[in-house]
Structure 1
């Protein structure tokens, strides 16, 4: 029995004795995966995150703000041994049971499959590509910590990224390291998240632990709009062509039955949160230009109106505060009247049309007052600029979108940190983009989860995160596999003894 095998059996024995599986979250962000695994009964033992505000959020929520756990770390500059020492988690190989995370897909763009199989022996081939270095270090963390299980999450495009099926390549590398591995595409809306977010999920188990990999059954049903099916088709391009047989680690996601409860909608998720009338706040002077800090608590004024809203307020360990400090919105004075005019589902081309109508209406009103504005004059252009957004309709067709109240939200992106036009509130009376807390609700972060920094970094942390409820579904399913494997491993000596007798 080699050293790695002894370590694996020691970890299995620890779980058999009642220990919680210990998770190391790489590229952890603020902790979407961590929160899901914590809720499923795992212990969050450590994390590596480069962004300082996201790292601070992770440390605050999972370790009470403890300094070693709140420190930003560069995985390319932090060895597994150094991390184990910093976090005081004991010997490196024994420290963690489950490794989760997902290196940015750019890290794989120039890494060829032949080199991946023996990546640790070909470090020189990648030293001039810093993006590939992320993947090398990720694999070295797997090698060093010898986890019982691995979860990798990424965008669907990793199935066809620059001509590569990166998920398949990851699976092959993990397989060569002693894991059984499968990957699929899961949509968060099927797992109770009020957001139609499609993600590649890869799960691997040590061969000593399991001989198959399966994925969680959906808990909710929705007919995904055409755009999402199109995205899935593009992502699965390699699986639908002549090299389909090469993607032998891919499995189809479990199908959602129409008899399941309907997907959680935007209104289900947000309807109990305090109303923010953007135009009223602007008129009163309460809403001004400048950084949005979380220093003005807004008390709840409604009771939870759905099971989802109640969950967001009562999540164990992350119960809602008496007032929300991050229910803050962007200062967009030009666009509030336009948001009120837009219809649910409207995107930027429709918004531009509404804006031009509003501009023409304003010019007619001025004419009735005796003020005729000459086209193409400076005054004409100034008035137009005060009403009509300047973006090219042809270049920005999807830049804006007003949400439907009776559907889950579309995918929240990290770009929320720069603007929130992709998620305009469905309530025309409020006439605004979503708040930080609303983005968190749409992502399934409970109200007691704290985001460090100001508004823009918080939006970015949310958009980058894995939805906690999706992570919980994966983690809960994994826990069943670990428990089953514990029982099977514990029964093995008895089966051997019976065979001998």
Structure 2
């Protein structure tokens, strides 16, 4: 069985690489990530699950924009310490695949709405250039570029970002599919991910290795990848086996941490502790979940939810703050914003009256149950929301085997 070497750029906590490694046909040569909590989690996972004793070396905590140092090494950096560089890690090994997705905030429609300049001046618009420098340095057979659908309409500097990316890819001697809107937008719910999550998946082929790259890509998107579709999975399918966590009669403290709910004492179930909720929020969560469970549906419209928020908090909001997950539907998108609050990811069981736990967010993102998140709850929510769902990543990796 062939094994393919890959580099993971913008690795996060390893959602994309987790799926590739689950096939047992890909080997991590290096992973690049600049946020410390994500790096620590990825190192822990590579050591404890994938038996990489050199994980501290191959997971590089560094700013990918510092391309020359990334490749050739850096020393005595106050933030990032020292490292001999990516070239030293690769050491003339063949790089078959490079995977990654530059941070998506600058391309997201929601982000552009919130930003007074429409994110046009955000440096993250151009992080793809750093990613492509790595591709140019190691010339993989194939690369994977993942991002949000908003990238298809982003125009930093007045030029569509897709034009900038396509031109840069062409200059490197690679090809991506011509019609991105038709073929590269993937609904991950069709691939066993129990949430409404659409992403743009760009597959780049090295021109000198493929007789007709466009035909190969069209076959990949139209025939090869769709073989891995499966029936839609729901919140109930995903969360049914976790212990129920109920509001406490009185607030408790454990290790200085305030608890409003019970938590799982099963040591085999990691990260299944609710965040603290006020009595007011618990009442709101119970009301909203009961409204849906009873079939009244008094609070399912945007206007009703906004009015409820104003009546109970005395504040106004242009968007509705609350959303209850539905048992028999996929979840709404699991976002990085979960680290701020869980108001748009309320558990559907009114008796539990809470937002989802880190473990529930991870399961809805299809992280394996044995993936233990070792950082603060806020950091854990953020890295989970930013990740590529490992189940989809595994199917993508299997599909790529057919064109490698």
TM-score, reference length from structure 1: 0.63
Task: Find the residue that maps to 1:481 and give its secondary structure.
Answer: coil
**Structure-to-structure mapping, 1:446-465, within 5 angstroms:** 446-465=368-387
Taking the aligned partners of 1:200 and 1:47, their CA distance within structure 2 comes to: 21
TM superposition shift of 1:82: 2.8
Residue in structure 1 matched with residue 11 of structure 2 by the alignment: 28
TM superposition shift of 1:69: 3.7
Cα 1:171–1:138 shift into 2, 3 Å: same
Larger Rg: 1
1:55 to 17, 39, 42: 39
1:350 to 287, 291, 304: 304
**Structure-to-structure mapping, 1:48-447, within 5 angstroms:** 48-64=32-48, 66-77=55-66, 78-82=69-73, 85-86=84-85, 88-91=88-91, 94-104=93-103, 130-131=123-124, 134-162=127-155, 164-182=159-177, 183=180, 184-210=184-210, 211=212, 212-214=216-218, 262-277=231-246, 279=247, 281=248, 283-286=249-252, 298-299=264-265, 323-333=268-278, 334-342=280-288, 343-344=291-292, 346=300, 349-351=303-305, 353=307, 388-393=312-317, 395-397=318-320, 399-447=321-369
Task: Find the residue that maps to 2:38 and give its secondary structure.
Answer: helix
TM superposition shift of 1:171: 2.9
Say if 1:266 and 1:407, in contact at 8 Å, map to a contact too: yes
Taking the aligned partners of 1:207 and 1:20, their CA distance within structure 2 comes to: 22
- Cα deviation, 1:291-349, whole Å, max 9, x if unaligned, reads 689xx98355xxxxxxxxxxxxxxxxxxxxx5223102121122111111113483664
- Cα deviation, 1:199-257, whole Å, max 9, x if unaligned, reads 0110011123333214767xxxxxxxxxxxxxxxxxxxxxxxxxxxxxxxxx8998799
Cα 1:46–1:81 shift into 2, 3 Å: same
Taking the aligned partners of 1:443 and 1:67, their CA distance within structure 2 comes to: 25
Taking the aligned partners of 1:168 and 1:50, their CA distance within structure 2 comes to: 27
Cα 1:205–1:267 shift into 2, 3 Å: same
Moved more, 339-348 or 150-159: 339-348
Aligned residues: 353
Cα 1:289–1:432 shift into 2, 3 Å: farther
- Cα deviation, 1:372-424, whole Å, max 9, x if unaligned, reads xxxxxxxxxxxx8xxx234414x122x32011100000111110011111110
Say if 1:23 and 1:42, in contact at 8 Å, map to a contact too: yes
Say if 1:298 and 1:327, in contact at 8 Å, map to a contact too: yes
TM-align CA RMSD: 3.4
Say if 1:33 and 1:471, in contact at 8 Å, map to a contact too: yes
Say if 1:289 and 1:331, in contact at 8 Å, map to a contact too: no
Taking the aligned partners of 1:97 and 1:327, their CA distance within structure 2 comes to: 38
Task: Find the residue that maps to 2:29 and give its secondary structure.
Answer: strand
Cα 1:67–1:403 shift into 2, 3 Å: same
Taking the aligned partners of 2:43 and 2:400, their CA distance within structure 1 comes to: 24
Taking the aligned partners of 2:231 and 2:125, their CA distance within structure 1 comes to: 41
Taking the aligned partners of 1:20 and 1:252, their CA distance within structure 2 comes to: 23
2:29 to 45, 58, 76: 45
- Cα deviation, 1:245-298, whole Å, max 9, x if unaligned, reads xxxxxx8998799xx853100011001101011x2x2x24336897689xx983
Taking the aligned partners of 2:349 and 2:393, their CA distance within structure 1 comes to: 29
Taking the aligned partners of 2:20 and 2:33, their CA distance within structure 1 comes to: 17
For structure 2, the residue ranges without an aligned partner over 5 or more in a row are 75-82, 109-120, 293-298
Task: Find the residue that maps to 2:274 and give its secondary structure.
Answer: coil
Say if 2:128 and 2:165, in contact at 8 Å, map to a contact too: no
Say if 1:94 and 1:145, in contact at 8 Å, map to a contact too: no
- Cα deviation, 1:38-64, whole Å, max 9, x if unaligned, reads 123211221111110011111111244
Taking the aligned partners of 2:306 and 2:85, their CA distance within structure 1 comes to: 53
Say if 2:38 and 2:383, in contact at 8 Å, map to a contact too: yes
Say if 1:195 and 1:442, in contact at 8 Å, map to a contact too: yes
Higher relative strand content: 2
Cα 1:411–1:209 shift into 2, 3 Å: same
